[in-house]
Structure 1
Amino acid sequence: MLADLEELVVCESFSADLEAVARSADVVAAQGTRHLGAPPERIVVDGVTHLRWTFGTPRVLLLGHHDTVWPMGSLATHPWSVRDGVARGPGVFDMKAGLVQMFHALASLPSLEGIRVLVTGDEEVGSETSRALIEESARQCDATFVLEASADGGALKTARKGTSAYELVVHGKAAHSGLEPEKGINAAVEAAHLILALEGLADEVDSGARHDWRTTVVPTVVGAGSATNTVPAEARVSVDVRVPTLAAQDHVDTAMRALKTTVPGASLEVRGGPNRPPLEESSSAELFERARVLGRQLGLEALSSAAVGGASDGNITAGLGCPTLDGLGAVGGGAHADHEHVIVAEMVPRARLLAALVALVVAPAKEDAS
C-alpha cells in the first residue's frame, strides 16, 4: 500500500494543470487496472480526465478524486516521506491514500460484480466537468461510499453542509471624484450597503440551530473602482454560502435574488447560485450504523461520526437521493496545509472496513441472482 501511495503522490496533479491531471489519470488507471483486473473508461470532459470502472449492474458506487490543490513543484518543498508511521506529501491525505485503500479493499473481494468506481479530476475546483458523470454514476446505485479523508480522529463524515457561490455585481456611474462626484453613482458605496444587508441573512434562516452547524453567508472577495480619483462605476462582491439543509439553501437563494439597491441610480446583478446540496444526516444514518457494526466485528476502535462544513462530491450523490457515507478514506490531518499527513497504521483497517461495507451492500443482489 505504501508503494502504491508513493506512486500516486510523486505524480503531481494540480487541478488547474490539465496536462498534470491527465498524467495522474494514467498512473491511477494503471494502478487500478493492476488491482481490479480491468482497465477503466477514460472520460475527458473539457480537457479534464476522469476514470470509471463498472462491473456488472452497479449497486454500489465508490467515489474519489485524483486532483489536488497543490501547485506543480510542491514536491520540492513537501517531498514524499514516511517517518515514524506517518506518510507525508502533496495530496497524501486529500485524497490519494483514500484511492490506495479503495483499490486494495476491492482487490480483497472474491468478486467485483455490482461495483462501480469513479475517480474524478476536478473535485477540488467544484466538479464542474464531472458533476453530470457523478449523477449518472450514482443514479443506479443503492449506496455511495466516498473515499475522502476522515474527520478528526478518524470519524466518518455523516453530514456536510451544502455550498452556494454568488457574485454581486453593482453597476453605477463614473465621475471625477474631485470635480463633480455628485454626477456619479458610487458602486462601492452600494456594495457596502449590500454587505451590511447580508450580515443578518444567516440568522433569519436557522435561528436556534447549534453554533457549529448553522448557515453561514460570508462576503469574501470585494473589489471596486478603476482609479483613485474616479467614482467607482462598478463593484463586485463574492459571497460564500454554507447551509445544513436544502430548505436553508433555497431560503438563501431567494433572499439573495431579492436584494435591493439603496444608492439612487445603482443597479444590481446577482450571479451564481447553489453548487452542491447538503449531505444531510438522514442520507448517511443507515450506512453509518452498518459501518459501526462491521467495525466492531473487525475489532476496530468504536467509529465516531462528524458533521463538517466543507463539501465533497458526496453532496451531489446524496442530493440525488442515493444513501451516502463519506470520510471512508485516510486517517490523518492537515488537508491543503503544510502538515498534511496520513497515519500509516490506519490504512489497512480502513481498507478492511470498506471491503466489508461494499460486500454487505452488494450481497442482496448476489443472493437474488442465485
Structure 2
Amino acid sequence: MPEPLETMVAEILRLVRCESPSDDLAAVARSADAVAELGTARLGAAPERIVIDGRTHLRWRFPGEPRILVLGHHDTVWPVGSLAELPARADAETVAGPGSFDMKAGLVIAFHALGRLTDLAGITVLVTGDEEPGSSTSRALIEDEARASVAALVLEAAGPGGALKVARKGVSRYEVAVLGRASHAGLDPEQGVNATLELAHQVQAVALLGDHDAGTTVTPTRTSSGTTTNTVPAQASFSVDVRALTAAEQERVHAGMLALRPRIAGARVAVDGGVNRSPLAADSSAELFRRAQTVAARLALPPLAGSSVGGASDGNFTAGVGTPTLDGLGAVGGGAHAADEHVLIAELEPRVRLLAGLIEDLRATPPARSAAQNPTASAPITVPSP
C-alpha cells in the first residue's frame, strides 16, 4: 500500500478508535481533540473550538474570497463500548469499524484534499458534533457559514458505487402526546378515558398522511403508554418521522398534524414539532454536480453518478439558505449505522483528488447563489378536545 494510503488508513482508524456517540458530551469532546490534531497537522492551523450546550464543534476559517464551506461531523450513532464487539480494523481492501463510513473517513479525505491546495484562502472547514440527532446546537453555525459561502461541499459518505448525493428528502419530526383519565381497570374502567385507545386512533390518522406517489413517508415510531397493568392509562405518546422531497409536502403534512383531533370523548391531544431539515432539492446541486463530473473527467477518474436519498444531512441546511450544495463527497463503502460499516481503501485517493480539483474549479469561477427557502417553523401545537 502506498505511503499516502497507509497514512489515511491509520488516521481513519485513529478517529474510529476515539468513540463519539452524539449524546455523550465527554466522548464528543475527546473526539474533537483527535479531529483537531489531525486537521491542524494537515491545514497548518489550529481550529476554533465552539462549545454550545456542552456539544463540541470545530471551525477552521481562512481569510479570502470566494468563500467555500467544507462541511462534516465527527459524532456517531455508536455508544461507547461498541469497539469491544466491532473493533476498528483494516485489511488490504477495507477500513472498518463504528463510524468509519459515517463519516470519519470523510474528515480524513477533506483534510488530505485541502492539504494539497497551494493555499487555503477563502476556505471554511466546519466539523460539528451533533449531526446524528439533528444538529440542534450547530444549525445556526452551519447556516451562517453557508450564507457567507458560494458553495457548500458536504463530506458525508457516498451513495452506492460512489454516487454523489444530489438530492435529499427533508425531515420533519413530531411528538404527539395523548391525555386521558386514569381509573381502575377492573373496578370502574368506564370512569377512565383510555389514552392507549386514543393513541391507536391517532397513530392510524398520522400514518394516513403519507403519500407514496409523492415520495412522502410519515412513520409513527417510538411509543409509550400507561403506568400499571391494572390501570386505565391516563397518558400516552408517540414520535413521528416525516420524509418529503419538497417543502410543499412538508407543509401539507404539517397542516395535517395540526388538524389532528381526539376521537374519544374526554381525551386531549397535543402535538409538538415541525420541520427539522428542509429538502436538498436537485436544483441546489445541479451546477456543482456538473462541475464535479467535469473535474472527474479531467482527472481521468471514473464517471460520476448522482443519487437522491431519503436520509438527511447538514447539507439540507446549507441548501435551505440558498447556497449551492453538493453532498456525498466523502468515503465510498457501505454499512452506515450497521455492523458491517466499512470504507473502500482504493477509493480514498480518488476522492481526495476529486475534492481538491472541485475546490480549485469553484475558486476559479464561483457559482451563483439560489433563492433561500423558507421551511415551516417548528412550533408546539395544542389540539383541544372537541
Indicate whether the TM-score tops 0.5.
yes
Q: Percent identity?
A: 59
What whole-Å deviation, never above 9, does each CA across 1:69-108 have from its counterpart, x for those lacking one?
1111222222222113111122111111100010010011
Q: Which residue of 1 aligns with 2:47?
A: 40
Bigger proportion of residues as helix: 1
Q: Which residue of 2 aligns with 1:162?
A: 170
Work out the CA distance in 1 between the residues paired with 2:97 and 2:207: 39
Q: Which amino acid aligns with 1:27?
A: A
Work out the CA distance in 2 between the residues paired with 1:20 and 1:199: 37
**Change beyond 3 A, Cα 1:199–1:80:** closer
Q: Which amino acid aligns with 2:331?
A: A
Q: How much has 1:180 moved relative to structure 2?
A: 1.6
Q: Does 1:96 align with 2:97?
A: no
Q: Which residue of 2 aligns with 1:220?
A: 221
Q: How much has 1:351 moved relative to structure 2?
A: 0.7
Give runs of ≥4 in structure 1 deviating > 4 Å: none
Matches within 5 A, 1:1-370: 1-57=8-64, 59-203=67-211, 208-209=213-214, 214-364=215-365
Q: Indicate if the aligned counterparts of 1:59 and 1:361 stay in contact, CA closer than 8 A.
A: no
Q: How much has 1:238 moved relative to structure 2?
A: 1.0
Q: How much has 1:266 moved relative to structure 2?
A: 0.8
Q: How much has 1:3 moved relative to structure 2?
A: 2.2
TM-score, scaled to structure 1: 0.94
Q: How much has 1:201 moved relative to structure 2?
A: 1.1
Work out the CA distance in 1 between the residues paired with 2:57 and 2:223: 34
Q: Indicate if the aligned counterparts of 1:159 and 1:308 stay in contact, CA closer than 8 A.
A: yes
**Change beyond 3 A, Cα 1:364–1:307:** closer
- The alignment partner of 1:288 has SS state of helix
Q: What RMSD, in angstroms, separates the aligned Cα atoms of the two structures?
A: 1.2
Q: How much has 1:364 moved relative to structure 2?
A: 3.9
- The alignment partner of 1:202 has SS state of coil
Gaps of 5+ in 1: 366-370
What whole-Å deviation, never above 9, does each CA across 1:225-245 have from its counterpart, x for those lacking one?
112221111110111111111
Work out the CA distance in 1 between the residues paired with 2:187 and 2:62: 73
Q: How much has 1:363 moved relative to structure 2?
A: 2.0
Q: How much has 1:208 moved relative to structure 2?
A: 3.7
Q: Indicate if the aligned counterparts of 1:256 and 1:270 stay in contact, CA closer than 8 A.
A: yes
Work out the CA distance in 2 between the residues paired with 1:300 and 1:262: 59
Q: Indicate if the aligned counterparts of 1:172 and 1:186 stay in contact, CA closer than 8 A.
A: yes
- The alignment partner of 2:301 has SS state of coil
- The alignment partner of 2:224 has SS state of strand
Gaps of 5+ in 2: 1-7, 367-386
Q: Which amino acid aligns with 1:294?
A: V
Q: Which amino acid aligns with 1:323?
A: P
- The alignment partner of 1:223 has SS state of strand
Q: Which amino acid aligns with 1:37?
A: G
Give the total of aligned pairs: 358
Work out the CA distance in 2 between the residues paired with 1:74 and 1:145: 30
